[in-house]
Amino acid sequence: MNTHHNQPQHQAGLTLVLGGTGKTGRRIVERLNEKGVPTRIGSRSATPPFDWNNEAGWDACLEGVTAVYINYAPDLAVPGATDSIQAFVDKAKGHGVKHLVILSGRGEAEAQASERIVQESGIDWTVVRASWFSQNFSEGAFVDMVHAGQITLPAGDIKEPFVDVDDIAEVATVALTEPGHAGQVYEVTGPRLLTFAEAAAELSTAIGRDIRFISVPHDAFVAGVRESGAPKEVVWLLDYLFTTVLDGRNAYLTDGIQRALGRAPKDFADYARETARGGVWNVSNENPQLSQAHS
């Protein structure tokens, strides 16, 4: 099998995983390690360090690399992202990279502009275009709200097909390591549309305590995020996501996970049950911040 001409050419080189310590990246790194794929973590804390704001350091990270998972922080929608993606793709091409897999967001015109840069690079590409992560409730922006028992967001009754990050990681991993995924756009969603109130009800069932959803006015929410001292690009992003992306445009399911993996995506209820067993939502007498330190 290994001599088969369909085997991706890049098996010999390194696979660079940008955001390699983040929600999707660290799961991809784990899977690549299991497959015995030589992997380099792209993060500010790695050696050599990777930082989207320090282009001078990218060459060292791309040395000997034949495949890259591109995960742009904080989000491809933020102003300036396309310039960084263009610069990175140009460098990758110069280093002889053979395959680019980019994580993108559904319904974000700005993110789709970055997808096009990758698609027009002349390098084999795969786009993984994701809906909202289930793990936002356990590893991301909403974990403190779950601890507090109140998910307060300007979301109303909009439905979102929350996708499990493990599924995203699996799609990216097969795209990086197996033939047949070049030139594919995998738009990935969970199997079910849920409002945030319905997601809160699933979390309540899994955790065994009441988690309520409270819809708040958008402006008050953004002001609260700003007052919490969040970085300005995070304030911008949350403002953008809740006005632009969560307007109903993404309230439908897609078959990306089925197409990429040949199986159904993981349901939010299964995510909630498995995560609850891990203890991340346990509220002790200590500061709830502490219980997320391991996640």
Domains in the chain, number = 1
How far does CA 221 lie from the centroid of its chain? 23
pLDDT digits (tens, 9 = 90+) for 66-112: 999 999 998 999 989 999 999 999 999 999 999 999 999 999 999 99
Considering the entire predicted model, what is its pTM? 0.91
Does residue 176 fall inside a structural domain?
yes
In degrees and rounded to multiples of 5, residue 133 shows phi and psi of: -75, 135
In this structure, are residues 176 and 69 in contact, taking their beta carbons and an 8 Å threshold?
yes
Does residue 70 fall inside a structural domain?
yes
Residue 243 amino acid letter: T
Does residue 83 fall inside a structural domain?
yes
pLDDT of residue 145: 94
pLDDT digits (tens, 9 = 90+) for 155-171: 999 999 999 999 999 99
Could you give the CA distance from residue 139 to residue 137 in angstroms, rounded to a whole number? 6
DSSP H or E run through 153: strand 150-153
Residue 24 amino acid letter: T
Does residue 266 fall inside a structural domain?
no
What CATH number did the domain enclosing 81 receive? 3.40.50.720
In this structure, are residues 104 and 128 in contact, taking their beta carbons and an 8 Å threshold?
yes
User: Which residues form the domain of 61?
Assistant: 9-131+164-188
Residues β-bridged to residue 67: 15, 99
- Residue 230's Cβ-side half-sphere holds a number of Cα atoms within 13 Å equal to 18
pLDDT digits (tens, 9 = 90+) for 194-229: 999 999 999 999 999 999 999 999 999 999 999 999
Q: In the structure, what pLDDT confidence band is assigned to residue 47 with cuts at 50, 70 and 90?
A: very high
Q: In the structure, what pLDDT confidence band is assigned to residue 271 with cuts at 50, 70 and 90?
A: very high
pLDDT digits (tens, 9 = 90+) for 235-245: 999 999 998 88
